[in-house]
Structure 1
Amino acid sequence: MTSELTTALPADPAELPTAQLPAVPGAGPRPAELDAREVSAWFGTHKVLDRVSLTMPAGRVTALIGPSGCGKSTFLRTLNRMHEMVPGAALAGQVLFDGEDVYAPQRRITEARRDIGMVFQKPNPFPAMSIYDNVLAGLKLTGTRAPRSTKDALVEECLTRAGLWTEVRDRLRSPGGALSGGQQQRLCIARSLAVRPRVLLMDEPCSALDPTSTRRVEETIQSLADQVTIVIVTHNMQQAARVSDRCAFFLAEAGRPGGIVEHGPTDAMFHSPQDSRTEDYVNGRFG
């Protein structure tokens, strides 16, 4: 059923349900499977995705590849209900999070955003906020409470998981905006991890970074892969081959809405694709 999607995150944390972090650092929920079923998306009357179905296995990295304008980022944003933040946006189909539809009427949008985190193309730490407070910012937005000792342990844990702790542990009270671009992106990853997501969405997280910073973010992705399900949009075929377990190739042809041409294990997608369009794209012959 198609519906208008307009709800955004509540601005007042008092509107949010409270939650309690586990006292033991590292004690988080297991990765979750995402299963998109017949997902279509519109902006106004313009249909941008047509009946996309894709299973993203728990504890694995799934890369979404394809040329610009084929709906990859729109699909990514449907997975945690960010698509509905755009006025006039609409969606049909289901997104199952371990078997439960994230768009079900009884499911709070804040729960979806807490379970399914997101890292954007451009690093977006709060520039005047300290590194320490940046990591913990998501707790306030999700109404999560924790004592100071747990927060301290959580900051260290998340910065460590994001591959940033050794670089910033002596300046946690310095502004997050003073970090380099690559460090800022890893800080954003740490901020996403602090609310214990079971899935982490990444929309071209390295496109604005230099090669060294890109390598460090990729190392972070690989180190997190067995702890959280990751879905990443990338235009970098080498990156997709390096970090992902599975790939889905999106394409929009002749003015038609975007859809998946082919998906499967990354090695098979790159070395023995079933569709000639996939082979042409991964070998740089178009796009």
Structure 2
Amino acid sequence: MSVTPSSAETVEIPAVVDGQGREAARPGGLEALAVSAWFGDHKVLQQVSLRMPAGEVTALIGPSGCGKSTFLRILNRMHELVPSATLSGEVLLDGEDVYAPGRRLTDARRRIGMVFQKPNPFPAMSIYDNVTAGLKLTGVRTGRGERDLLVEECLTKAGLWKEVRDRLRQPGGALSGGQQQRLCIARSLAVRPQVLLMDEPCSALDPTSTRRIEETIRELADEVTIVIVTHNMQQAQRVSDRCAFFLAAQGTPGGIVEHGPTGAMFDAPQDQRTADYVNGRFG
């Protein structure tokens, strides 16, 4: 399969249903099969295949420029937003290709959420409205009482409720950097994703905020599959169940050198390049 940038789509996602009107959170298994990617004529990924099991945290590690963030964006179809971007291969969510013909772009984005490196709450929008913004964007209709419960639930899961419960109507942009990142996590959780992608979510945060984000990641893993890009090897060891080591030799596209359980990747890697990287000998 080859995918080229799609034109803008305007679709409305119907409300998903559980006992309170929404689908209960359920982790989804992701699998990339022979994924290659280009920006124009420049190939940045070569035949990447990786299984990211449901309900686990998979860390993508490797030096800058080896395609980790590009791979992450391919997983929820953000790569195709770049005008020159193309790709080949398949991305399966619970066995179904998210790039299959007729598959809605917004459906992929709802089921596979994203938290970016730099916190990006809507600065003038209240904390409360930031959490519920995704519902409006995906066309999910909820009553006021249900929204109130959802805001508390998602802020609690993101480790932020106790800090902001008395100022929910204040602007999200007034929060600290670490609080803003946790607000973005809460916003992503509100639409009940099966997978949450995180692109270096702690790189701009202080140690205390980083610790809180890491605690949140571990607590969320039971209900949402997490794939995180990180350059912090200690963080990868602390939060992940599995790791994939990406590498790109000079002038060649990136690919996976080795992947497996985190303990094995750090304690007994099979490839010398992996051992050198996780022990700080390059990168």
Task: Sort the TM-score into its range (normalised by shorter chain).
Answer: over 0.9
Q: Distance in 1 between matches of 2:12 and 2:174?
A: 31
Aligned twin of 2:38: 42
CA distance 1:9–1:171, shift in 2 (3 Å): farther
Change (3 A) 1:71 1:50: same
- Give yes or no for the alignment of 1:158 onto 2:170: no
How many residues matched? 283
* Pairing 1:6–2:3 present: no
How far 1:102 sits from its partner (Å)?
A: 0.1
TM superposition shift of 1:2: 2.1
Which residue does the alignment assign to 1:96?
Answer: 92
Q: What is the alpha-carbon distance in structure 2 between the residues aligned to residue 271 and residue 206 of structure 1?
A: 24
**TM-score with structure 2 length normalisation?**
0.97
Does 2:240 align with 1:238?
no
TM-score where L is the length of structure 1: 0.96
What CA deviation, in whole Å up to 9, does each residue of 1:128-162 have, x standing for no partner?
00000000000111111111111000000000000
* Aligned equivalent of 1:64: 60
User: What is aligned with 1:192?
Assistant: 188
CA RMSD of aligned residues (A): 1.3
Alpha carbons 1:6, 1:85 under 8 Å: kept: yes
Identity of aligned residues (%): 76
Are the equivalent residues in 1 in contact too, given 2:200–2:228 (CA < 8 A)?
Answer: yes
Change (3 A) 1:73 1:52: same
Rounded Cα–Cα distance in structure 2 between residues aligned with 1:152 and 1:25: 14
Matching of residue 167 in structure 1 with residue 155 in structure 2 = no
Please say if residues 58 and 229 of structure 1, whose CA atoms lie closer than 8 Å, have aligned partners that are also in contact.
yes
How far off its partner does 1:107 sit? Answer: 1.0
**Counterpart Cα distance in 1 of 2:215 and 2:108:** 27
1:19 is paired with a residue whose SS is coil
Shift of 1:24: 3.3
CA contact (8 A) 2:67 2:255 kept: yes
Q: CA deviation at 1:20?
A: 4.3
Tell me the alpha carbon deviations over residues 175-219 of structure 1, each in whole angstroms, 9 at most, x when there is no partner: 000000000000000000000000000000000100000000000
**Structure 2 equivalent of residue 273 of structure 1:** 269
* Stretches of structure 2 lacking an aligned partner (at least 5 in a row): none
Please, which runs of 5 or more residues in structure 1 have no aligned partner?
A: none
